[in-house]
Amino acid sequence: MKIFENFSLKNFNTFGLDHKCKIFIEIEYPEEIYSINKKFKVSESKFLVLGEGSNILITKDFDGFVLHPQFKKIIQTREDKNNIYFEVEAGVNWDEFVRFSLSKNLGGIENLISIPGLVGAAPIQNIGAYGQEIKDVIELINFFDFSDNVFKTYLNQKCKFEYRNSIFKQELKNKILITSIELKLHKNPKPNIDYTDVKNELRKMEIENPTIQQVSEIISKIREIKLPSPKEIGNAGSFFKNPILDIKKLETIRKNFGEVPFFKLNETSVKIPAAWLIEKIGYKGKSKGNVGTYHKQPLVLINLGNATGEEILNFANEIKDKVFSVFNIELETEVNIL
C-alpha cells in the first residue's frame, strides 16, 4: 500500500476539482484492507472509496480517508454450455473489460461500452445504457465490510438492484469496499438494439443482423458524439437520472408539450429523458459563471475551466427547481455528491 497525506483529488475526479483529502491510500492487494482497517480504524472514521471519480461531485475538502483500489485481476472462474463466468477485481477499468469480452465474442455488456470508471464502482449504481444493466449479468459481489472487519459475498438477489441503485448505494453506503464481482457472459450473444438511435444507425449502414461488435461500435460512436471527454472538458457524464413516470403523468405532459420521447418499461410506467426536460426549460448549452450544460447533451454538466464543486451543485439545483416548477417532476442526481 501507499499512503499520502493532505492529498489533492484533482486527478481522481473527472470534473477536475482541486479538493484535498486528509489521507489517501492506494491499496495494491485486497488482503491489505485488514491492516488498513486495524491501523487507521477506518470503520470508526470518515472514509471514501474512490476509483476514477467519474460519478462524483466533490464540493469541499474531505476530512477523512480516501481508499483507492489498485487490484486488477481478471479470472475465468467457470464455464457451462451457454456461459463463461469471470471474477473481475475492483481496479479493472470497466471499458477495458467490455472490450475484453467483445474480443472473445461474449455478450451481455456490449451496450455498456465507453462508460468511464472502474469495475468496483459499476454495481453500486447499477450502471446501464441502451437497454442493458450490469445487474443482468452479475452473479455475486465480494466486498470488505469495515464494520465487521470481514470479507463478505452477496449473491445478485441480495444486492437490491434497481434503476441506478443498489444496497451499496443505500444501506451499505460508506461502510464497505467492493473487491471484485463475478459476471456471467453469454457464448451465443443476441444483440440488444431496442433503442431508436441504434436502430437508425443500423438502418443507415444497411445492417439487418448485426453482431455485438457492430452494435457496440455504434454505441461507442454515439456516446462520443453526445458526451464530452473528461480529458477535454470536466464532467461526470449524465448528472441526473431519467425520471420514471406512470402513463397518466406522461399523457398530461403530452397535452401541454406535444410529443414526448419515452421508453416503455411496462404497462403502467415509462422512462423519459431528463435531457428532454432540461432542453425544454431552455438550459441546453446554457452557462452560468464557470459551469454550464453541454451543448450537445444537456444532461451533462460541465466545468468551463475554473468551477468549484459548490458552483456546479448550485447550477444543478437551479435546473432541478426549474424542471419541477414547469413539469412537476423532481429530478434525481445520478452523480454522488460529496
Specify the pLDDT at position 4: 94
The domains of the chain are located at 2-69, 74-186, 196-226, 234-337
25-63: per-residue pLDDT in tens?
Answer: 999 999 999 888 888 887 777 899 999 998 999 999 999
What percentage of residues in the chain have a pLDDT greater than 90?
70
- The hierarchical CATH code for the domain 234-337 is 3.90.78.10
The mean pLDDT of the chain is 92
- Number of helices followed by number of strands (H, E) in the chain: 7, 20
- Is 110 among the catalytic positions? no
Do the Cβ atoms of 136 and 126 come closer than 8 Å?
no
215: exposed, middle or buried (Cβ count in 10 Å: 0-12, 13-18, 19+): buried
Which cell is 189 given? 450473444
Are the folds of 74-186 and 234-337 the same?
A: no
212-271: per-residue pLDDT in tens?
Answer: 999 999 999 998 888 888 888 999 989 999 999 888 888 888 888 888 888 788 888 888
pTM for the whole structure: 0.85
Helix (H) or strand (E) holding 181: strand 176-186
110-164: per-residue pLDDT in tens?
Answer: 999 999 999 999 999 899 988 899 999 999 999 999 988 899 999 999 999 998 8
d(CA 318, CA 278): 11
Q: Which of these is catalytic: 133, 182, 311, 334?
A: 334
63-122: per-residue pLDDT in tens?
Answer: 999 999 999 999 999 999 999 999 999 999 999 999 999 999 999 999 999 999 999 999
Local structure of residue 86 (DSSP, 8 states): E
Q: Which of these is catalytic: 54, 182, 238, 311?
A: 238
- Is 208 among the catalytic positions? no
Do the Cβ atoms of 97 and 52 come closer than 8 Å?
no
Find the radius of gyration of the CA atoms of the chain. 20
pLDDT of 200 strictly over 90: no
- Is 164 among the catalytic positions? yes
Question: Architecture of 2-69 per CATH?
Answer: 2-Layer Sandwich (3.30)
Report CA dihedral (269, 271, 272, 274) to the nearest 10 degrees: 130
Q: Which of these is catalytic: 54, 87, 133, 164?
A: 164
CATH of 74-186, picked from 1.10.760.10, 3.30.70.120, 3.10.580.10, 3.30.465.10, is: 3.30.465.10
